Amino acid sequence: MMIYPLTQIVLLPICLSPLVYLIRKKFERIGNWLSFIILLYCTVIGFLVAFDYFVKAKPIVEEFEWAPTVGLYFGFRADGLSIPVMLIILLLSLATSVYSIAYMEHKHRVELYFSLYLLYTAGMVGTVLATNLIEFYLFWELMLISSYFLIAEWGYGEREKVSFKYFMYTHVGALLLLIGILSVYVSLGTFNIYEIPVRVNHGSIPYETVLSIIIPMTIGIFVKMAVVPLHTWLPDAHAEAPTPISMLLSGVMIECGVYAFNRLIISCFYNYFVNLSNFLIILAVITMFYGGIMALVQLDIKRLLAYSSISQIGYMLLGMSTGTYLGLVGSVYHILSHACAKGLLFACAGAIMHQTGGKRDIRELGGLVRVMPYTTLLFAIGVFSLAGVPTFAGFISEFMIFLGGFEKARGYGLAVIALAVICVVLTTAYGLWALKRIFFGPIKRELKNVREAPLVMLVPMSFLALLNFILGLYPEPTVAILETWAKNVVVLASQ
Give first-to-last CA distance, the chain, whole Å.
36
Q: What is the largest CA-CA distance in the chain?
A: 72
Given a cut of 50, the residues of the chain with pLDDT beneath it are none
User: What is the DSSP-derived secondary structure letter of residue 68?
Assistant: G
Tell me what pLDDT residue 203 has.
67
What pLDDT, in 10s, does the model give residues 367-400? Answer: 899 999 999 999 999 999 999 899 999 999 999 9
Q: Is 411 left (phi over 0), alpha (psi -120 to 50) or beta?
A: left
Task: Give CA–CA dist 34/101, Å, rounded.
Answer: 11
Tell me what pLDDT residue 415 has.
80
Tell me what pLDDT residue 239 has.
87
Phi, psi dihedral angles at 191 (to 5 degrees): -105, -5
pTM of the model: 0.94
Residues 6+ apart with CB under 8 A from 92: 247, 248, 251, 252, 339, 340, 343, 464
Cα angle, residue 236 at apex, residues 231 and 238 outer, rounded to 5° = 90
Residues 6+ apart with CB under 8 A from 215: 180
Indicate the average pLDDT of the chain.
89
Tell me what pLDDT residue 57 has.
80
Assign 3-class secondary structure to 225-272.
HCCCCCCCHHHHHHHHCCHHHHHHHHHHHHHHHHHHHHHHHHHHHHHH
